[in-house]
Chains A and B, each alone.
Chain A
């Protein structure tokens, strides 16, 4: 069900943006890990206390915890991990289907003996695989750097679980992007939904963290299903993970279905 040459071409097309985002992440991750210092945790808290509380909460820095895992979970997985790979997934989701339809190059893909479902499934597989590879790189780098800088400090199983949560969240986010890419005829509309919705989710998440009065907003963002604090703390996260998986399956399935059935302006 997969079209190998297309997969290869898509890898080639998106390699640069993948590499750039990964490189930026790989710059941030070591900096944040090295910033962790049990001795200076208190002084860091003092510095943060100088900043407005709302701002700190919005960035997800409100609970720095005491362990290295808490620290990374709050600093890196509270905000950066929600923003940077999203730039990649938004770009790639849009490029995979909508941009081919918009430019007209989809006409060439569909003039070969490959079903629409196969083309769409190939692109979906690329999005899922490349996102997985990106998160896997981060997880591996996180473990390696932590163990070099602070041997034995990182709770590896909690950290891996954190990355699994991140991955599932991204599956769901790319599901939305992929569906939008399959559904719309032009890049503009695909981006309005495929990029607009995840960004809106992120902004709502940031606002809902600010205080009790706006806490209800968390029911309007997908990102509520990914809570680093709870995952590290070992609190309930399985229902959230399952929900993310269901959203992923529905969005990708629907995307392929819609693309197969609809009229294409090629």
Chain B
């Protein structure tokens, strides 16, 4: 495996502990890399460096072996990019914009573009100014994929998409991956990228907290389950007689947290009447807390 995207000691200090600091990681060929972090952690700053919009204070980054700042125009031949903030040429219609971007890339083949328009069911005849956020996001995605690039950098690709479109998007990513594409996509939600990513890099306050294989993360991940029993007595009994990590008990509802394997938990429920079983979506903050300890107070 050779690294397609390579970041070495990348630093951009905006002062006030904003920016990115000594960031080092790489994304290998054929890999889908999830770049995870809360808002303002430095995801977009990293991506701006990869696109060659910023000059780093220290360190460097390469895509396909080319320096991202000095050779960005060469890199762009092989790169598809979805910006985090969607801003187009407002007065154009969707199709005009796609044609324009195709011409800017010197792209003659429109087959893939039309297939993507079909796939995302985008009405390309309406003016971009009148489009909803979801429609604009689809347009941006088509624009990023339509020239069949080797490398894709997607900044918050699923924001604004409805669940159906998110599914279509995930399928598209998996398809591109099977064709050997290298993809880096940022997100602030773990659920969003767990379907598609091989590896996850977690950035916090501009520093890389960890890069982990998605399977390791899933195994180590704590999930909170919410069990509704038939009454408060059974709920209390369940909590007392098992050594689970109970978060709290409210009347007949027990919340407990389990890491990894849930076999024991399912077996233990066998003896009780369970009215409802649910999982709580764990936020990114939870994941941080569970894996890396709470570092909110460490600076």
Contacts and interface: CB of A to CB of B under 8 A. Distances in A.
B76 A13 contact: no
Nearest to B80: A111
Given A5-B103, A6-B104, A111 B51 contact: yes
Given A104-B85, A112-B76, A5 B54 contact: no
A104 B73 contact: no
A206 to B, nearest CB: 36
B253 interface: no
Interface stretch (B87-95, B193-201, B231-239, B266-274): B87-95
B76 A113 contact: yes
Interface string A13-48: 100000000000000000000000000000000000
A110 B51 contact: yes
B87 A107 contact: yes
Given A9-B89, A263-B55, A264-B54, A111 B79 contact: yes
B82 to A, nearest CB: 9
B104 A114 contact: yes
Given A263-B54, A264-B53, A112 B104 contact: yes
A115 interface: yes
Interface string A92-129: 00000000000111011111111110100000000000
B52 to A, nearest CB: 7
Nearest to B44: A266
Contacts of B100: 5, 9
B83 interface: yes
B101 A112 contact: yes
Contacts of A104: 83, 85-87
Given A9-B89, A108-B83, A266-B48, A113 B53 contact: no
B246 to A, nearest CB: 48
Contacts of B81: 107, 111
A152 B89 CA distance: 49
Contacts of A4: 103
A264 B44 CA distance: 12
Nearest to B48: A266
A105 B88 CA distance: 5
Contacts of B52: 110
B11 to A, nearest CB: 14
Contacts of B54: 263-264
Interface of B: 48, 51-55, 72-74, 76-77, 79, 81, 83, 85-92, 100-101, 103-106, 143
Interface of A: 3-6, 9, 13, 103-105, 107-116, 118, 261, 263-266
27 contacts: A5-B104, A9-B89, A103-B90, A104-B85, A104-B86, A105-B87, A105-B89, A107-B51, A107-B53, A108-B101, A110-B51, A110-B52, A111-B76, A112-B101, A112-B104, A113-B74, A113-B76, A113-B105, A114-B73, A114-B104, A116-B73, A118-B73, A261-B55, A263-B54, A266-B48, A266-B51, A266-B53
Q: Sort A-B residue pairs by CB-CB distance and give the 10 closest, nearest first.
A: A104-B87, A5-B103, A112-B104, A111-B81, A113-B76, A115-B73, A264-B53, A107-B83, A103-B87, A113-B77
Given A104-B86, A263-B55, 9 more contacts: A13-B91, A103-B87, A107-B87, A110-B52, A112-B101, A112-B105, A113-B73, A261-B55, A266-B51
